[in-house]
Amino acid sequence: MQTGVTLNTIPSGFLEWLASSRINFLNEMREGNPMRYFSAHLPVMSTWNSSSPFPVNMTVKGIGLIPRTEHLQSYTDVFESVIAEASAMPWDESLYKRIEAMHKLYGYAGHFDPALLGGLEIFGGKTLGNLRENPSASLLYAGMMHTAETMQYISFQVNGEVEILDRENPYYRFLLASRKLFEFDRFHIYQPDYPWGYLIKVIEARDKSPWSKNYKHEQNNKGFTRTCS
């Protein structure tokens, strides 16, 4: 296997970054701090149209982690219950309840399926059209991981097969509830409808993290394999 490539799963170091970044974002919301760009939730998604002179379509999509099958229904139920409760009170007053509901999910990284990612389709444009013809997509994540001592650049590509979800699919129901928990908060652009969802089955993950050519070890202390992009 090529160095820096893992098959059928997101490596644990990258999964930890995706989960911990969400927790940090929620904590910033709770403390009332200004919202920053949420790179761990907004990868560039590339799809393919061989009939175009520019065959690669790229867009930024909101993509999240997906619970394992045995946890999917319970988290969906929690989210939908909190949404129903929040609808009966001023939205700002419900913030802590909504944050705690999401904390219940992202506080347990082991509850996620490392072979799945998912998101909602809003506009039904080129991405949806391309995926109907060729159900393959690549996601490029790029951001920073902060610890008490260091700051580390992180980047990785996920290549996967995409299933288009209709409203009756239990994964769509989870994705919709996840979005609606924060539908009216200022970091979202409100949308009246979400006709489809995407379930991305991971085929491979490629480490794209930048590194110094003076680096003398194959791995750093988080277990990320250093390789050329």
Q: What's the pLDDT score for residue 35?
A: 73
Distance separating alpha carbons of residues 224 and 43, to the nearest angstrom: 19
Strands (E), the chain: 5-7, 44-48, 56-60, 63-67, 112-121, 136-146, 151-165, 196-207
* pLDDT given for residue 147 in this prediction: 66
Q: How far is CA 58 from the centre of its chain?
A: 16
State the virtual CA torsion across 142, 53, 159, 61 in degrees, nearest 10. 50
**Amino acid, single-letter form, for residue 221:** N
Q: Helix (H, G, I), strand (E, B), or coil: what is residue 131?
A: helix
19-22's contacts with Cβ under 8 Å and 24+ in sequence apart are: 19/65, 19/106, 19/109, 19/112, 20/145, 21/143, 21/145, 22/64, 22/102, 22/106
| CB contact set of 50 (below 8 Å; sequence gap of 6+) | 134
Is pTM, for the whole model, over 0.75?
yes
Query: Model confidence over 170-224: pLDDT tens digits?
Result: 999 999 999 999 987 777 777 778 999 999 999 999 999 987 777 544 444 444 4
Altogether, the residues listed in the chain come to a count of 229
More confidently predicted of 37 and 88: 88
Nearest residue to 30 (alpha-carbon basis) of 86, 102, 109, 108: 102
Check pLDDT > 90 for residue 149.
Answer: no
pLDDT value for 227: 46
Asked if 28 contacts 182 with a C-beta cutoff of 8 angstroms, the reply is: no
Q: How many CA atoms lie within 13 A of 95 on its CB side?
A: 12
